[in-house]
Amino acid sequence: MASVSDQSSEDHQPTEIPVVHVYRSRVEQATVQDVLNVLEGDFVEKDTGTISQDDIKFLDVIGNGIKLNESGHYEMFLPFREENPALPNNRSSAFARAMGLKPQLEKDPVKRGHYVTFMNDLLVKGHAEKVPEDELDKPVKWYIPHHGVYNEKKPGKIRVVFDCSARFQGICINDVLLQGPDLINPLVGVLLRFRKGKIALSCDIQQMYHQFHVRPCHRDYLRFLWWEDGDLTKPLKDFRMTVHIFGAASSPGCANYGLKQAGKDNVHIDEDAAQFLQQNFYVDDGLHAADDVETAARVLKGAVKICQEVQMRLHKITSNSDELLAVFPEEERTERKPRDLGKPDKGPMERVLGLQWLTEEDVFTFTQSIKSRPATRRGMLSTVAALYDPLGFISPVVLRGRILLHQTCRDHLDWDDLLPDVMHGAWIRWLDELTALLS
- β-sheet with 67-68: strand ranges across: 67-68, 74-76, 212-214
pLDDT of residue 87: 95
Q: What are phi and psi of 210, to 5 degrees?
A: -75, -5
pLDDT of residue 17: 44
pLDDT of residue 419: 94
DSSP reduced 3-state for 431: helix
N-term to C-term CA, the chain = 63
DSSP labels for 393-415? TTHHHHHHHHHHHHHHHHTT--T
pLDDT of residue 15: 41
Q: What are phi and psi of 8, to 5 degrees?
A: -75, 145
Nearest to 373 by CA among 329, 435, 303, 421: 435
pLDDT of residue 16: 46
> Widest CA span of the chain, in angstroms?
108
Decide: 173 and 43 in contact? Cβ < 8 Å: no
The residue ranges of the chain whose pLDDT is under 50 are: 1-27, 35, 38-39, 42-44, 341, 344
Helices 395-410 + 421-438 axis angle, to 10: 160
Which residues are 286's β-sheet partners? Answer: 203, 281
pLDDT of residue 152: 76
Decide: 315 and 206 in contact? Cβ < 8 Å: yes
pLDDT of residue 349: 84
Nearest to 257 by CA among 422, 74, 393: 74
List of E strands, 279-409: 281-282, 285-290, 314-319, 349-352, 355-358, 363-365
Q: Three-state SS across 95-156?
A: HHHHHHHHHHHHHCHHHHHHHHHHHHHHHHCCCEEECCHHHCCCCCCCECCEEEEECCCCCC
CA pair distance 81, 78, nearest whole angstrom: 10
pLDDT of residue 12: 43
